[in-house]
Amino acid sequence: MTSDHVHHEGANLTITPIYSFPKGLPGFDQLKEFLLQEHNEVFSLLSAIDQPEISFITVNPFDFIPDYEFSLSDDTMLDIEVNNREQVAVRCIVTWHSEREKITINLLAPLIFNVESFKAKQIVLQNTIYTTKHPLWSESETDGEGGDS
């Protein structure tokens, strides 16, 4: 990692990658660089470098929907310089709600990260059953559980 792609935090030397979104994010086209910080073992925060108040909660969708699948177009692979599968990490944006059963995940528009080039892109899947408001937890996972996450 070069210093252009990392953010150092405090004395504990936490290194957080900075990803470049060459085309920005839909609705935030002017913002090109984002910090991806792990919050805990499940959630991460994607924050705009130039406007840190613009942040998105993200998760690895495969942790919640093991059969989630899609194909990356050649254009996407070129845009973020992907040469092999090991370079790719996927995150999806979460819509938070105070009621756990109303927390949703956007499976229609995953964020694709190249963990080697530090380039990223949000894609919108076509001809799919996935939605922008898929429940993050299945009903069986929320039944009988109390407390905050």
Contacts of 42 (CB under 8 A, 6+ apart): 59, 63
Evaluate if residue 3 carries a pLDDT over 70: no
- Report field, pTM of the whole predicted structure over 0.95: no
pLDDT of res. 138: 73
**pLDDT (tens digit, 9 = 90+) per residue, 15-48?**
678 999 999 999 999 999 999 998 899 999 999 9
10 Å Cβ neighbour count for 82? 22
pLDDT of res. 147: 46
- DSSP annotation of 117 reads T
Evaluate if residue 142 carries a pLDDT over 60: no
Concatenated DSSP letters of 46-95: EEESS-TT-EEEEE-GGGT-TT------HHHHHHTT--SGGGEEEEEEEE
10 Å Cβ neighbour count for 114? 20
**pLDDT (tens digit, 9 = 90+) per residue, 72-129?**
999 999 999 999 999 999 999 999 999 999 999 999 999 999 999 999 999 999 999 9
pLDDT of res. 4: 53
**Reduced to 3 states, what is the DSSP secondary structure of residue 13?**
coil
pLDDT of res. 21: 96
